[in-house]
Structure 1
Amino acid sequence: MCMRYLLILFLCFTTVNSYSQDSTNTKLPTRVKGTIISSSTNAPLSEVNIVNINQVVGTSTNDDGIFEIKAVANDTLLLSYLGYKSIKVRVTNDWLKFGNTEITMTELALALEEVTVKQLQLTGYLKVDMMAVPIQSNNRYRISGLPGQGYEAGRPNIATKVLGAIFNPADFLYNMFGKKPNEMRKLKKMKQDDEIRSQLAKRFDREMLLVLLQVNKYDLDEIVNQCNYSKDFINTANDLQILDAISECYEEYKVISRNNKRNKGKKKGRA
């Protein structure tokens, strides 16, 4: 009997110890490391932009094409580089387990669109020539993260927007913002990541914003347009300015939405 109990205890200890070791071995790191190279030259690419879409953190490759970023299994990384095709890469358990992974990016064939330049026909008379210069009546606003700079926006004041929202409660902004709270939370996290903000300040392709918001280019432009920013702003703003514009509009939308709910609650209470 004594030997049987000892055997049972030994088997239990072995099982617990084995489970403990397995748990330790399967514990995965919270960061992944990779090296990005060019498909045409096999040379490392430096300053490639990498953003973890799920964690909403960003980084870039060093001179050797190496990067390291916070990630867990099944996260998606968006890789983008000027002149190369952007790609999405899923973080796998094998990548987390075995460390550095080599990723290849492919060059894009660049094609320049035809641009028509309209010249001013100057007469030499100041009053006449001044009338030929297009006048824009848009105001300029400062944007966070860009000290000393500004952008134009033909926006009405907040009171006008509040009135518009009250009389049109099921407008485009409600449909976009109300149905995408997770994406808008990601946008807010982007504003807090200095690396991502630095990347967006240099970009005009809207790619990162499209991926995070899960919308197409037309919808993104329409969101900014419905936030009462001018077409000039939409066409010329960098991605950081678009991010800040949408974030500001979303915060105002939340205020308006809360006020509408309170007003409805008061009306029900009176009824």
Structure 2
Amino acid sequence: MLFKTKLLFLVLIFSCSYFNAQNKKTIFKGKIIDSLHIVANANIINLKTNQGTFSNDNGIFRIRTSKNDSLKISAIGYETKFFVVKAHHLNEDINLIFLMSKTYQLDEIIVKKHNLIGSLAIDFKKTPVDKNIELVDKIVSDIKKMDFYAISKTPIGIDEAHLMKADIVRLPNNRFEGMGIKSSSSFAKDTSFIEKLEEENKIAKDILSELGDYFFFIELKIPKNEYNNFFDYCLYKDIVNLYKKNQTLKVIQIFRKECISFLKLIKKK
């Protein structure tokens, strides 16, 4: 009787250990490919835990999962795929996941006559430039040429009133104060403002280069001439600091969310 009791006890311990091992979270290893190539920078999200990651340059990724968790795999130019993790997937050295290319129907393209002659050196000078980026560069250049005191006296527009911070009122304590002469701290503040504009302008270009025209102008449907306005529209979400911290996934999520209200706003113009 004592032997049977001990045997039953050991069986129960083994069963509990096995059950816990089966339900314990582990690492799922996968490689994303299409019919011809690997797929880098694909977005993988565990829908149960909301944890996410990206595939590397070799299409490989690792993510913490449990049995029966669902993974959402998406990439620009491919159809989104949902993958259910089974027990045998967790024992594989690598799991191959295939993505299907997505076909898009583009709007009608009108080809106009051009004056190009076939010479790269000459035709390059005739190539149209992005007027928005050129305009921003000119504004930043003009601001850098302005007098710091003139910048500080620039009136605040009605749409910028919420950004205005009241200055501390100081009574003159010597003959120089109250005569329009600014302190060194004020000059530092003006310089910091210009540097911030330049940094935001640079990051706007870097993000456009990294995520690509397809993401902004096809997937999010942002008009090309509204890209800079859309970037400024999302600044309150701290996208600059997030991007500098390499949290690109959060930046993408912010763009996807904010584009809805932004498109509604520009339609009312």
- The bucket for the TM-score relative to the shorter chain is 0.3 to 0.5
Scaled by the length of structure 2, what TM-score is found?
0.43
Higher relative contact order (CA 8 A, sep 6+): 1
Scaled by the length of structure 1, what TM-score is found?
0.42
Bigger CA radius of gyration = 2
